[in-house]
């Protein structure tokens, strides 16, 4: 904690200041926009961008993570709170902050219990499908504010402003950096500069609104943004703790996943080490802080963190500076923000989530592994049809089902001896000789509850195919662990083989596995011997045919 501050080098300051400034300029429209996605007044998005990143800087593990509102987490917040309170009501805001506290408590608890490995409950294709599905849901939700009316209708002035903004942002995204470079800017600065297009658009649109009084033409705006820092918020609804537990768990899980994948991408670039349990604590504390300052659930954002990184951030000081600048913006007069047109904010949201529509993972999975591609599609469609919360559950279940399914089909090879050598190889891939009366099987998987039945089944099949075998040798060279269920399975196999007068021998058992098996009864009851190598097993059994 704060290790970065004690070792702070002056050389890091310039980069941190520049990144702090750039991200603050990015955060104003983004925070307000994601507050709208969450169903909250825009200022809540600024509140959620001040205290949480500062607290994350104290407890988190990433140097360049930018913690604050994020599209998918805002969508999940809206999905959780909308059924419980009327949009715009005081209760809605209380529940959104309370949800951040619940999610934060979940994250801190997981961090203290060292449950960081839980991030592995989502496979990458599932996460990608979830992200794309959520992006589509978010974009569709912005069609109404973009057009000022429900599609396929539109309110002329709103639609004109919204679509023009959309066009500008798409062009800026595609050509902005090139244009800035053509104007003589350095490549890295041009890339960063182009990320400020949304802030430029916000300023221009506010100026236009102020000059031409476009509100008179029916263009909706964010309305007055209260000036001043957020008040300390301790309000909770005691009736809703139970109801918020499930969404809090799901949002906590997604906050962790999104933040870890953002932080990892950056850590990889600098060979930094991330500590997932530390990250859980940092995110949990940030969400608790978000609740205290009247915000809503926050996380690290991949796109914003990438800008932070590219703009030169070296330490969390950049995020602290960003927070300071946002606080200053709230202390300064905020009247101008009231004129921000909603179609412009909708356009920034749509363009932001367009960046989440990546199909590379699906394409790679499709070529490489259809099961993973299917998991992508089912999760994505699940989010679209069943909603974002059900999408998380579907994703976890699919990841687990894929895991169990894969695990339930372990690779098992019948081995034969490479003539004249001590080597044993898969007889399907090498011309290797088997010995009559002996069946040698190599199990290429850790033995656990998910595959022990499949292994037993396969052993029986091979025994049926080799009816003369009086000795079965299991080559355990690829088995690094045997769980309790598998231990029972092996004991039952041993019993069954004993009844049939077939010896069960083990070869090449790894040290750690052997250490564990000594704590069980299997070795005492084993209807055969344990051999150091397959060759030793086969030589011995060849020379002692009566020996089972």
Q: Which positions lie near its own copies, rule CB under 8 A?
A: 117-125, 264, 268, 271, 273, 361, 364-365, 367-369, 372-373, 399-408, 410-411, 426, 429, 444-446, 448-451, 453, 457, 460, 477-478, 480-481, 483-485, 487-488, 492, 496, 500, 510-512, 516, 519-521
Compute the least distance from the CB of residue 444 to its own copies, in Å: 4
Using DSSP, state whether 473 is helix, strand or coil.
Answer: strand
Quote the radius of gyration of the chain (alpha carbons, Å). Answer: 30
Using an 8 Å Cβ cutoff, are 23 and 316 in contact? no
Calpha distance 79→66 (Å, rounded) = 24
Residue written as tokens 């009366």? 437
Q: How many CB atoms lie within 10 A of CB 250?
A: 22
Instruction: Give just the sign of the alpha carbon dihedral 150, 156, 157, 161.
Output: positive
Nearer to its own copies, 4 or 448 (CB): 448
Instruction: Go through the chain and tell me how many residues it has.
Output: 548
Secondary structure element (H or E) that encloses residue 413, with its range: strand 412-417
Compute the least distance from the CB of residue 396 to its own copies, in Å: 8
Compute the least distance from the CB of residue 522 to its own copies, in Å: 9
Nearer to its own copies, 149 or 478 (CB): 478
Compute the least distance from the CB of residue 264 to its own copies, in Å: 8
Q: How many CB atoms lie within 10 A of CB 2?
A: 11
Secondary structure element (H or E) that encloses residue 99, with its range: helix 90-112
Using DSSP, state whether 312 is helix, strand or coil.
Answer: coil
Compute the least distance from the CB of residue 82 to its own copies, in Å: 21
Compute the least distance from the CB of residue 531 to its own copies, in Å: 17
Compute the least distance from the CB of residue 246 to its own copies, in Å: 12
Nearer to its own copies, 346 or 396 (CB): 396
Nearer to its own copies, 227 or 407 (CB): 407
| CA atoms lying within 13 Å on the CB side of residue 504 | 21
Nearer to its own copies, 171 or 404 (CB): 404
Secondary structure element (H or E) that encloses residue 131, with its range: helix 124-141
Nearer to its own copies, 433 or 515 (CB): 515
Nearer to its own copies, 235 or 514 (CB): 514
| CA triple 348-67-289, angle to 5 deg | 120
435-455 burial: b if 16+ Cβ within 10 Å, else e? eeebbbbbbebbbbebbbebb
Compute the least distance from the CB of residue 457 to its own copies, in Å: 8
Calpha distance 150→251 (Å, rounded) = 29
The distance from CA 53 to its chain's CA centroid, rounded to whole angstroms, is: 19
Distances from the Cα of 227 to the Cα of 44, 54, 215, 329, 338, angstroms: 12, 20, 22, 9, 11
Compute the least distance from the CB of residue 405 to its own copies, in Å: 6
Secondary structure element (H or E) that encloses residue 453, with its range: helix 452-465
Using an 8 Å Cβ cutoff, are 61 and 263 in contact? yes
Nearer to its own copies, 521 or 542 (CB): 521
Calpha distance 534→482 (Å, rounded) = 19
Compute the least distance from the CB of residue 127 to its own copies, in Å: 9
Distances from the Cα of 491 to the Cα of 76, 352, 481, 496, 523, angstroms: 48, 57, 16, 9, 9
Three-state SS for 63-78 is CCCCEECCHHHHHHHH
Nearer to its own copies, 369 or 539 (CB): 369
Nearer to its own copies, 354 or 400 (CB): 400
Calpha distance 307→323 (Å, rounded) = 15
Compute the least distance from the CB of residue 12 to its own copies, in Å: 21
| Pairing state between β 471-475 and 438-443 | parallel
Nearer to its own copies, 480 or 544 (CB): 480
Compute the least distance from the CB of residue 32 to its own copies, in Å: 34
Compute the least distance from the CB of residue 427 to its own copies, in Å: 13
Nearer to its own copies, 175 or 405 (CB): 405
Beta bridge partners of 341: 221
Using DSSP, state whether 442 is helix, strand or coil.
Answer: strand
Nearer to its own copies, 98 or 123 (CB): 123
């Amino acid at each position: 904690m704060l290790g970065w501050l004690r070792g702070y080098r002056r050389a890091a300051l310039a980069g941190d200041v520049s990144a702090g400034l750039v991200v603050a300029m990015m955060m104003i429209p983004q925070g307000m926009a994601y507050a709208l996605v969450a169903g909250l007044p825009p200022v809540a998005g600024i509140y959620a961008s001040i205290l949480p990143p500062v607290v994350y800087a104290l407890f988190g593990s990433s140097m360049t993570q930018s913690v604050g509102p994020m599209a998918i987490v805002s969508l999940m917040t809206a999905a959780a709170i909308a059924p419980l309170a009327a949009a715009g009501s005081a209760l809605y805001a209380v529940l959104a902050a309370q949800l951040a506290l619940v999610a934060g408590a979940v994250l801190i608890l997981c961090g203290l219990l060292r449950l960081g490995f839980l991030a592995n409950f989502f496979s990458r294709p599932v996460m990608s499908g979830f992200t794309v599905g959520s992006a589509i849901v978010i974009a569709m939700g912005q069609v109404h504010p973009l057009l000022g009316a429900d599609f396929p209708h539109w309110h002329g002035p709103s639609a004109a402003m919204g679509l023009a903004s959309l066009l500008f942002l798409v062009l800026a995204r595609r050509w902005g950096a090139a244009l800035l470079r053509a104007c003589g800017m350095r490549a890295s600065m041009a890339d960063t500069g182009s990320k400020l297009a949304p802030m430029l658009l916000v300023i221009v649109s506010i100026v236009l609104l102020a000059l031409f009084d476009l509100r008179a033409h029916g263009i909706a705006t964010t309305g007055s943004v209260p000036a001043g820092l957020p008040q300390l918020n301790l309000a909770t609804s005691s009736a809703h703790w139970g109801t918020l537990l499930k969404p809090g768990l799901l949002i906590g899980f997604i906050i962790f996943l999104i933040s870890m994948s953002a932080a990892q991408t950056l850590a990889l670039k600098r060979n930094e080490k991330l500590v997932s349990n530390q990250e859980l604590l940092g995110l949990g504390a940030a969400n608790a802080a978000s609740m205290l300052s009247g915000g809503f659930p926050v996380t690290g954002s991949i796109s914003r963190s990438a800008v932070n990184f590219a703009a030169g951030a070296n330490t969390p000081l950049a995020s602290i500076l960003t927070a300071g600048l946002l606080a200053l913006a709230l202390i300064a007069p905020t009247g101008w923000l009231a004129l921000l047109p909603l179609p412009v904010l909708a356009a920034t949201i749509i363009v932001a989530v367009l960046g989440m529509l990546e199909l590379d993972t699906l394409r790679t999975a499709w070529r490489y592994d259809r099961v993973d591609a299917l998991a992508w599609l089912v999760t994505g469609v699940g989010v679209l049809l069943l909603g974002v919360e059900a999408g998380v559950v579907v994703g976890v279940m699919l990841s687990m089902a894929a895991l169990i399914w894969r695990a339930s089909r372990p690779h098992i090879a019948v081995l034969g001896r490479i003539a004249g050598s001590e080597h044993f190889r898969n007889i399907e891939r090498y011309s290797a000789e088997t010995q009559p009366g002996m069946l040698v099987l190599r199990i290429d998987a850790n033995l656990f509850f998910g595959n022990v039945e499949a292994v037993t089944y396969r052993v029986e099949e091979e025994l049926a195919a080799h009816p003369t075998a009086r000795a079965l040798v299991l080559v355990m060279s690829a088995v690094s662990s045997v769980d309790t269920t598998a231990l029972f399975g092996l004991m039952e196999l041993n019993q069954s083989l004993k009844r049939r007068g077939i010896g069960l021998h083990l070869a090449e058992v790894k040290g750690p596995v052997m250490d564990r098996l000594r704590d069980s009864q299997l070795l005492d009851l084993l209807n055969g011997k344990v051999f150091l190598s397959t060759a030793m097993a086969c030589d011995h059994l060849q020379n002692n045919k009566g020996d089972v």
